[in-house]
Amino acid sequence: MVEQHQRRIWRWEYCPGAGREEDLLSDVCREVVEKWSESQTVDAKENKEDEIQAIASMMEKQAKIVVKPKEVSQEEKQRKAALLAQYANVTDEEDGEDEQDGSIATAVNIGSEKSLFRNTNVEDVLNARKLERELLRDEFQKKKEQDKLQREKDKLAKQERKEKEKKRTQKGERKR
């Protein structure tokens, strides 16, 4: 910083066209460079103060944002406890079941007195897979039938071409 300050003074002192009034010129140069340096430091301080102010305001905003604890009624607590108990029972029952038909065993066999609702996620997934397999099977059957019809058409077309060729050759032999 000091070297830059001295360089600037030197540039001002030895600029072309300067008169012989070196003392006056050097004083003016020093004064210009000092004022410029002061303005730079003031700007830097103001920037830092602005940054500090911005950070302080953000921290105040964050401090204002407080998550209020949710008030849970006794009924909701009981419902939550029942759900947790139900899922605890479901996992116990799942451990004892084996896979059936190569698919995932369903956990829907919960007694109605234990559960508040029926979990149909597993059933929905299995039904969707079953439906997809049926659609694929139907598409395969349609394609198979179309291929069979196409082969028959090709066979008939080939036979017709042979007959036409045969008739044409017969006509050619008759003309001879």
pLDDT, tens digit (0-9, with 9 covering 90-100), for 60-93: 877 777 667 778 888 888 988 888 888 877 665 5
Residue type for 149, please?
A: L
Q: How does the average pLDDT of the chain come out, rounded?
A: 77
Query: Do residues 91 and 105 touch, judged by C-beta distance below 8 A?
Result: no
Of the pLDDT bands very low, low, confident and very high (cuts 50, 70, 90), residue 97 is low
Of the pLDDT bands very low, low, confident and very high (cuts 50, 70, 90), residue 160 is very high
Q: What is the pTM of this model?
A: 0.30
Asked whether the predicted pLDDT for residue 108 surpasses 80, the reply is no
Asked whether the predicted pLDDT for residue 135 surpasses 90, the reply is yes
pLDDT, tens digit (0-9, with 9 covering 90-100), for 2-55: 677 677 666 656 655 544 556 677 777 788 888 888 877 777 777 788 888 888
Query: Do residues 12 and 22 touch, judged by C-beta distance below 8 A?
Result: no
3-state secondary structure of 41: helix
